[in-house]
Structure 1
Amino acid sequence: MLLRILALRSPAGREDAWSGVHRAIRPSRPGRLLGVAVLIWAVNFAWPKTPLGSQPTERILLETESPYHYVRVVESGGIRRLQFRRSGQDFEESAINVRNPLDFPLHYYELMMAGFVHQPNPKRILFVGLGGGTLPRAIRHYYPTTQIDIIELDPVVVDAAKKYFGFVEDERTTVYIRDARVQIRRLARDGHKYDIIFLDAFRGGYIPYHLTTKEFLELVRSLLEPNGAVVSNLQPGFVSYHYQRRTMASVFANQWAYGSFGNVIVVNSMESAPPGREELLRRAEEIQERRRFNVFLPGVIERMQSEPDYDKSGPILTDDFAPTDVLRSIPQE
């Protein structure tokens, strides 16, 4: 739903709208989300993405099988999408607005920007999973001097990101085509450290099991600067979500979650004095003023969960126990 309000035609209009909502609801914190929901509904009604009664035609730009995925790139209504087909179903892996690459078509991109509230001035960023490169491309715009390293398993995906999504490697952007666990071991061995690590590797609707375990997250933690943040994209509709959240909690000292449907973005850190909600909101307002994000960052922080939405008791995922494919198929009750 948040995507709809961000679909206003100009960045200034989006920011003014969000600022007005924020000022209007700030005096009454319990009513904030209700106020935002009402305005989202109104904007969705007033500014439909396509004319009523019409459906944009989908064009297939790429359809090929790689050693790891059945890869498709399709475009419809000015939105270009990277899909992985598995068992006859096309899973959305990435998307970009070809007319305005900073206007995110997928709502979870917006939520992932919360990582910058936890670490506002990153010098080095690591992505696990490239997709179409939409988020790295946007971050390069907002943080032009930051070093961005990306790990992507599939060379076909890297080629598609460059050819169809405008992703560019440069002197400050490096792509490692390799299994993430192998590459992270190499980065740790070579002494690399990162301020923000984004974990967003999916394979047709699920995260590969060896990228979910306690041992893997301990490797990730070894790359993290003391005040750094790990930002993970999770899907809450399945039993696997509880295992993933518990596993993260067993490795990292602090945990915040943003969003509640479709995708939940979890931010983990090892800070000895983690910031509270008010501090995060203050930071978000300051960063928004300085960086002029196309996403209104204080609105993202407003979507922080106030209470944990997972069962804290139960087993975690380890290299000896990671049935994520089975758990991912069991819906939450």
Structure 2
Amino acid sequence: MSGSDCEKRDFRTQFIRVRARLSVTSLGLIVAALGLWLSVPQQRVPAQELSRVLFEKESLYHYVRVVEEGNIRRLQFRRSGIDFEESAINIRNPLDFPLHYYKLMMAGFIHCPNPQRILFVGLGGGTLVRAIRHYYPNVQIDVIELDPVVVEVARAYFGFQEDSRMKVYIRDARVQMNRLAGQGARYDMIFLDAFRGGYIPYHLTTQEFMELVARLLEANGVVVSNLQPGFASYHYQRRTIARVFPSEWAYGRYGNVIVVASRKPQNISREELIKRAEQLQAEKKFSFFLPEVAQLATSGGDYIRQGPILTDDYAPTDVLRSIPQD
């Protein structure tokens, strides 16, 4: 055997010994680490922190889901494999708003601090309706909801309850609103918050619909609309509202923009809105700070004012909703 063969054999022998020692050492480290991990009390995630589905059902209009994560219970509509969050509530503190846009919608009370009658279009889980009932216990509230399954879910999972001053109409909004208008019903505030898996049904966006809203409002009444910016549809919706209502204030910028519009021009400054919010905060003791919402107020300016509006003959909201804006 040559010297080089002996050197190769010695090298292989040493390599095998070193690898064996490393294997034993690695195994020892793994065992030691495992023993240490087992000896330390493990923190378990509480069951209430895990997301779980409480309810699922396909109705005539939506695929409805109720999901709970910790203290937060969420109402979702599933469309095209995507779960759109429609409502949420803190089950331990129903006055704590999990969704920021609820606070923005409360800006309507800055413009109408003492309403007597309120109409809601779109119930969802009823979180906002419940809060308003708490802060304004003597107000008459009417709610219109298209889907009876949504009403069932609001009652069973979100603590929503009708009372002598709160009535729910299970019907298409325009049909029911026409009936209410024919009966001479008038409201100080109308909240528009009807979504169908990420978009507003087109017949609740048009000029004709906004004119129906105006018919249902008292002379000094306001309409509070929940809109989503970032798409071409937003500018069409803002222009349509402005065509019918001479005065409009917007709250928020991303995710949701709440537009408060009135039948009569409101010659009021942002400073006065903040002052009103401070007075309401002192009176109502809101669980959030309403003056912070008032700080977000802008009088128009965040949409393209020139262009077409939505009408019953032209309302391609499904197409416009898919066109992003820079």
* Superposition TM-score tier, normalisation by shorter sequence: 0.7 to 0.9
Instruction: State TM-score, norm by structure 1.
Output: 0.83
Aligned residue for 1:141, secondary structure, equals: helix
Aligned residue for 1:132, secondary structure, equals: coil
User: Which residue of 160, 171, 179 maps to 1:186?
Assistant: 179
Aligned positions of 1:138-177 closer than 5 A: 138-177=131-170
Aligned residue for 2:253, secondary structure, equals: strand
**Distance apart, 1:127 and its partner CA:** 0.2
Identify unmatched segments of 5+ residues in structure 1.
Answer: 1-50
Q: CA separation of 1:75/1:310 partners in 2, compared to 1, >3 Å: closer, same or farther?
A: same
Aligned residue for 1:116, secondary structure, equals: helix
User: Which residue of 119, 124, 127 maps to 1:126?
Assistant: 119
Q: In 2, Cα distance between the equivalents of 1:98 and 1:274? A: 40
Aligned positions of 1:161-240 closer than 5 A: 161-240=154-233
Residue number in structure 1 paired with 2:253: 260
Residue number in structure 2 paired with 1:97: 90
**Distance apart, 1:271 and its partner CA:** 2.3
**Distance apart, 1:273 and its partner CA:** 4.1
Aligned residue for 1:171, secondary structure, equals: coil
Residue number in structure 1 paired with 2:267: 274
Residue number in structure 1 paired with 2:11: none
Identify unmatched segments of 5+ residues in structure 2.
Answer: 1-42
Residue number in structure 1 paired with 2:18: none
Q: In 2, Cα distance between the equivalents of 1:286 and 1:227? A: 20
Residue number in structure 2 paired with 1:21: none
1:323 aligns with 2:316: yes
Q: In 1, Cα distance between the equivalents of 2:90 and 2:211? A: 35
In our comparison, the structure showing a higher alpha carbon Rg is 2
Q: CA separation of 1:272/1:310 partners in 2, compared to 1, >3 Å: closer, same or farther?
A: closer
Contact 2:104 2:293 in 1 (8 A): yes
Q: CA separation of 1:199/1:113 partners in 2, compared to 1, >3 Å: closer, same or farther?
A: same
**Distance apart, 1:56 and its partner CA:** 3.5
Q: In 2, Cα distance between the equivalents of 1:306 and 1:136? A: 26
Aligned residue for 1:260, secondary structure, equals: coil
1:246 aligns with 2:239: yes
Q: In 1, Cα distance between the equivalents of 2:187 and 2:271? A: 26
Q: In 2, Cα distance between the equivalents of 1:175 and 1:274? A: 35
Deviations 1:125-155 (A, max 9, x none): 0000000000000000000000000000000
Residue number in structure 1 paired with 2:287: 294
Amino acid at match of 2:247: N
Q: CA separation of 1:305/1:272 partners in 2, compared to 1, >3 Å: closer, same or farther?
A: closer
Residue number in structure 1 paired with 2:73: 80
Q: In 1, Cα distance between the equivalents of 2:300 and 2:311? A: 26
User: Which residue of 53, 57, 61 maps to 1:60?
Assistant: 53
Q: In 2, Cα distance between the equivalents of 1:117 and 1:329? A: 33
Residue number in structure 2 paired with 1:46: none
**Distance apart, 1:307 and its partner CA:** 5.3
Residue number in structure 1 paired with 2:15: none
Aligned residue for 1:67, secondary structure, equals: coil
Residue number in structure 2 paired with 1:6: none
Q: CA separation of 1:185/1:307 partners in 2, compared to 1, >3 Å: closer, same or farther?
A: closer
Residue number in structure 2 paired with 1:5: none
**Distance apart, 1:110 and its partner CA:** 0.4
1:70 aligns with 2:93: no
Contact 2:245 2:264 in 1 (8 A): no
Residue number in structure 2 paired with 1:48: none
Aligned residue for 1:74, secondary structure, equals: strand
Residue number in structure 2 paired with 1:25: none
**Distance apart, 1:92 and its partner CA:** 0.3
Please, what is the CA RMSD of the aligned residues? 1.5
Residue number in structure 1 paired with 2:276: 283
**Distance apart, 1:305 and its partner CA:** 2.6
How many aligned residue pairs are there? 282
Structure 1 outlier segments of 4+, above 3 Å: 53-56
Aligned residue for 1:275, secondary structure, equals: coil
Q: In 1, Cα distance between the equivalents of 2:49 and 2:138? A: 38
Amino acid at match of 1:182: V
Q: In 2, Cα distance between the equivalents of 1:258 and 1:102? A: 20
Residue number in structure 1 paired with 2:325: 332
Q: In 2, Cα distance between the equivalents of 1:193 and 1:282? A: 28
**Distance apart, 1:300 and its partner CA:** 0.3
